[in-house]
Amino acid sequence: MNTELRIGVFICHCGINIAGVLDIKGLCEYAKALPNVVTAQANLFTCAETGTSAIKKAVKDNNLNRVVVAACTPRTHEPLFRASCKEAGINPFLFEMVNIREHCSWVHRHNKDAAQAKAGDLIRMAVAKAAFLEPIETFKSKVEPLTLVIGSGIAGMTSALALADQGFEVILIEKEENMGGLLRHLHKIAPANVAASELIEEKIAAIKKNKRIKYFTSAILEEVTGYVGNFSVRFSCGNDSYTCKVGVIIVATGGIPLRPEGLFNYDGKNVITQSELEIKLKKRDIEAKSIVMIQCAGARIPERNYCSRICCMVAIKNCLYLKDIIKDAKIFVLFRDIQAYGVENEALLLKAREAGVRFIRYRPDTPPVVENCKVKIYHPAMGKEIFLPADLVVLSTPIVAHDDAESISRILKVPINGNKFFLEAHAKLSPLDFAFNGIYLCGNARYPATVREATCQALGAASRACITLSHDTIERVGTVASVQEELCSTCFTCIKVCPYNVPYINERGRAEIEPMQCQGCGICVAECPAEAIEFKYISDKQIMAACEALLAS
Amino acid sequence: MDNFEPLIAVFSCHYCSYAAADLAGSSRIQYPPNIRIIKVPCTGRVSVNHILMALEDGSDGVYVAGCLKGTCHFIRGNYKAEKRVQYVKDLLSEINIEPERVQMYFMSAAEGTKFANVALEMTEAIKKIGHSPLNKSRS
């Protein structure tokens, strides 16, 4: 890049959000005096049509080749301004954004002078960094129009069917002998009041009938390599091994209710879990007259610090079905907090209370104690310990991740959280995607979900997958690392540190990074002892330039 | 020295701590204006050199703020960063510069309050330690 640097700085008032604290005119004057800055302008709202047009016009008028916008967070607005740059005819990566709202005007409201100085510093750092921005191109690769769905519970089957209905071929693998997942053992689904078996058999029949879905039971996932649009998958089914090429992968491996060994005298006979109760309800094999349910059994404790979210609703549902079968049953539910979200579930809770189910709160420091046919509990309203008769104690245990969640996460190179549930790219912004492109997530594998939620997520994951599948090729932005071979000393450091096992040694004996596979974290760039790995998106030069500009020269 | 306002460079990862800083902003949580964020895709991108450079270029303190352990968007970038920060601390000790000038923090995108608290904690800590001996233009 020998051409002269021409930087344009655009500073946003954001109404009074920024301008209420900072002197925008002063910042413009300051920015104009910075090296390589050709123009600095203020906009009332840079993200509005007038603002983006002003950028485009200024690029043309001043022949700009770098754009810096000082406004809000790049996490929401960077794509918009990159698009404006592209429309103005400069590479969208010759753009730098600096956050003077969330990181400055909003958090230093009472210290305007310091805020002004900080905004100036941030703009100076961005301008310094902008001088080292490099154009980044996109590249294309082919998409295999095939999906691998892992797990055939309600979530897996729903997404497989949704994809098949849209005309895409699906390979569905299930590690158990039968499809159906958790629902196979359940009695009825609330609030819909549908038999679980009915729901599941209908789906299984639809899958078996569907020509676009190939299903494998007793199948174990063994290896996955490749990248979005082009994954190579190997799995075994009995003694046979299969390999296939798929474009996308949906993880619907589900979860399993915790077996509460050692908790509340659990014995599987008089002290059982909700799922064991459902098996009894299915067979109508219940005689108990006094039943005590204990919520949060094994959940919300230090080793399992999460709320499993669905157990309260499961308990309420089962109370009502129990009341249907045994009219004079006395049922107590001992809870910490009742989580019956949504109008219908709230109505069911009311119905249970009307039917005579008693709800008693307990605190974690005075948990219920299960003794022979009795449960001792401190009643907060009565202010003393009471004994509840209990022919049957039912423990509401949380959904926990499967034992193989960890190995699947390793095979797919996608993260799991501390409780071994799979971790989405962003809880709000992309709840069904993994950070790794082309792999999606739904159902209990992500976090305990009701049938309805799992179904919604499955349809969502399928539609996310369709975005990729419906194209013959996909474009990827080259915000990736690449090896400068002449500098590589084949030390294997990059191979060791890459979380996605992307680098390999090529036929010339040097490290090579497949751009389609690289996720752009930059770990190898920071570790390479020869500094042989280039990362144009956030290069060493850019970081150094920002550091150098920390202090005004 | 009463009115010493330290300059602190922060390497923030795009997915967690940068988002936490955004949240601190949208929640209007006020914190000292001494920090300057440099955004990186992952704290794994931050090399030993970058941290040293930030010190050399005049900051009185540097911290790297990544995702909570086990939740790194790139699986283990924050562990790498933690190791490098420790390496820099050891290096600083050897040349008699306070290792507390460099820290590693972990926070989730939902922890706006933590981001603000960390900014406050670090500012207070550096105020106590004083000017960086490397900060030529200020001392």
Q: Are residues A265 and A371 in the same domain?
A: yes
Contact (Cβ atoms closer than 8 angstroms) between residue A418 and residue A406: no
pLDDT (0 to 100) of residue B1: 52
Can you tell me the mean pLDDT for A426-450?
91
Query: Domain for residue A525, yes or no?
Result: yes
Whether A91 is in a domain gets the answer: yes
The H or E element containing residue A241 is strand A240-246
3-state per-residue secondary structure call for chain B: CCCCCCCEEEEEECCCHHHHHHHHHHCCCCCCCCEEEEEECCHHHCCHHHHHHHHHCCCCEEEEEECCCCCCCCCCHHHHHHHHHHHHHHHHHHCCCCHHHEEEEECCCCCHHHHHHHHHHHHHHHHHHCCCCCCCCCC
Pairwise CA distance, residues A441 & A389, whole Å: 44
| CATH code of residue A410 | 3.50.50.60
**CB proximity B61 to A under 8 Å:** no
User: What's the pLDDT at A309?
Assistant: 94
Cβ of residue B65 closer than 8 Å to a chain A Cβ: no
> Domain boundary at A378, A397, A416, which?
A397
A551 in any annotated domain: no
A549 within domain boundaries: no
Are A551 and B37 inside 8 Å of each other by CB? no
Backbone angles phi, psi at B13, to 5 degrees: -85, 145
Q: At a CB cut-off of 8 Å and minimum separation 6, what does A189 contact?
A: A183, A195, A196, A199, A451
Q: Which chain B residues are Cβ-neighbours of A405 within 8 angstroms? A: none
Contact assessment for residue A97 and residue A69, using Cβ atoms and an 8 Å cutoff: yes
Q: Which chain B residues contact residue A521 at CB under 8 A?
A: 41-42, 44-45, 73-74, 77
Same domain, A53 and A130: yes
Query: Coil, strand or helix: which one is A184?
Result: helix
Q: In order of start, what are the domains of chain B with their CATH numbers?
A: 8-129 (3.40.50)
Residue to mutate among A16, A96, A102, with most B CBs inside 10 A, is A102
Alpha-carbon Rg for chain A, nearest whole angstrom, is 29
pLDDT of the residue at B135:
76
Q: Give the pLDDT band of residue B73 (cuts 50, 70, 90).
A: confident
Q: A90 and A118 share a domain?
A: yes
3-state helix, strand, coil split of chain A in percent (to 5) is 35, 25, 40
B50–A543: do the CB atoms touch at under 8 Å?
A: yes
Q: Please indicate whether, in this complex, the C-beta atoms of A114 and B44 are within 8 angstroms of each other.
A: no
Query: pLDDT tens-digit profile of A503-540?
Result: 999 999 999 999 888 989 999 999 999 999 999 999 99
pLDDT, position B139: 46
**Judgement on whether residues A290 and A357 belong to the same structural domain of the protein:** yes
Q: Is B40's Cβ below 8 Å from some Cβ in A?
A: yes
What pLDDT was estimated at residue B137? 60
Has residue A543 been placed in a domain? no
pLDDT beyond 80 at A2: no
Handedness of CA A299, A302, A307, A312 (dihedral sign): positive
Q: What is the pLDDT of residues A171-187, one digit of tens each?
A: 999 999 999 999 999 99
Nearest to A40, CA basis, from A50, A31, A51: A31
Residue A362 has pLDDT above 90, yes or no: yes
- Give the type of residue at B105: Y
pLDDT band at A542 (very low <50, low <70, confident <90, very high): very high
ipTM of the complex: 0.96
Place of tokens 């911290």: B63
pLDDT tens readout for residues B105-127: 999 988 999 999 999 999 999 99
Chain A interface includes B136 (CB < 8 A) = no
Confidence of residue B95 (pLDDT cuts 50, 70, 90): very high
**Is there a domain that residue A410 lies in?**
yes
Terminal C-alpha separation, chain A: 25
Write the CB contacts of A3 (distance below 8 Å, at least 6 apart in sequence): A65
Task: Specify whether A179 is located in the same domain as A205.
Answer: yes
Interface of B with A in 89-108 (CB under 8 A): none
Q: What is the mean pLDDT of residues A442-456?
A: 96
Task: Say whether A522 and B41 touch across the interface (CB within 8 A).
Answer: yes
Q: What is the pLDDT of residues B11-49, one digit of tens each?
A: 999 999 999 999 999 999 999 999 999 999 999 999 999
pTM above 0.90, yes or no: no
- A68 near A12, Cβ under 8 Å? no
pLDDT at B138: 55
pLDDT at A478: 87
Residues A243 and A337 in one domain: no
Per-residue confidence band for A450, with pLDDT thresholds at 50, 70 and 90: very high
User: So what's the pLDDT on residue A139?
Assistant: 87
Condensed to tens digits (0 to 9), the pLDDT of residues A277-318 reads: 999 999 998 989 999 999 999 999 999 999 999 999 999 999
Cβ of residue B118 closer than 8 Å to a chain A Cβ: no
Three-state DSSP state, A252: coil
Q: Does A369 score more than 60 pLDDT?
A: yes
Residue A482 and residue A365 share a domain: no
How many residues make up chain A in this entry?
553
Nearest to A538 among B23, B24, B45 (CB): B45
What is the average pLDDT score of chain A? 95
Across the A/B interface, how many CB contacts are shorter than 8 Å?
150
Chain A neighbors of B72, CB-CB under 8 A: 415
Q: What are phi and psi of A513, to 5 degrees?
A: -120, 120
Kindly report the CATH number assigned to the domain that includes residue A109: 3.40.50
What pLDDT is recorded for position A413? 85
Contact of B53 with chain A, judged by CB distance below 8 Å, is answered with yes
How many C-beta atoms surround the C-beta of residue A78 within 10 A? 16
CB of B128 closer than 8 Å to CB of B5: no
- Phi, psi dihedral angles at A516 (to 5 degrees): -65, -30
- Which among A496, A550, A551, A553 is the top mutation candidate for probing chain B, defined by the most B β-carbons within 10 Å of its own β-carbon? A550
Helix (H, G, I), strand (E, B) or coil at A470: coil
Q: For residue range A117-129, what is the model confidence (pLDDT) as tens digits?
A: 999 999 999 999 9
Token pair of A24 as six digits? 């925008």
Does A104 share its domain with A89? yes
Question: Is residue A544 a part of any domain in this protein?
Answer: no
Q: Are B123 and B59 in contact (CB under 8 A)?
A: no
| Residue A313 domain flag | yes
Residue-number span of the structural domain to which A326 is assigned = 259-397
Name the domain count of chain A: 4
DSSP letters along A87-116, please?
Answer: HTTS-TTSEEEEESIIIIITT-TT-HHHHH
pLDDT above 70 as % of chain A? 99
> Which residues in chain B are closer than 8 Å to A497, comparing Cβ atoms?
80
Nearest CA to CA, how far is B15 from chain A (Å)? 8
Q: Say whether both A273 and A392 belong to one domain.
A: yes
DSSP secondary structure, A365-412, as one string? TS--EEETTEEEEEETTTTEEEEEE-SEEEE-PPEEE-TTHHHHHHHH
Cis peptide before A191 (omega within 30 of 0): yes
Among the candidates A473, A495, A511, a domain finishes at A473
**Which SS3 state, helix, strand or coil, does residue A28 take?**
helix
Which of chain B's residues have a Cβ under 8 Å away from the Cβ of A425? 73
Phi-psi region of A78 (alpha: psi -120 to 50; beta: other; left: phi over 0): alpha
- Residues A104 and A118 reside in one and the same domain: yes
* Domain termination residue (choose one: A421, A449, A473): A473
A220 and A250 together in one domain: yes
From the list B33, B41, B48, the residue facing A538 with the nearest CB is B41
Q: Is A195 exposed, middle or buried (0-12, 13-18, 19+ CB in 10 A)?
A: middle
Contacts of B87 in chain A (CB under 8 A): none
Question: In the predicted model, what is the mean pLDDT of residues A341-348?
Answer: 95
A108 and A190 fall within a common domain: no
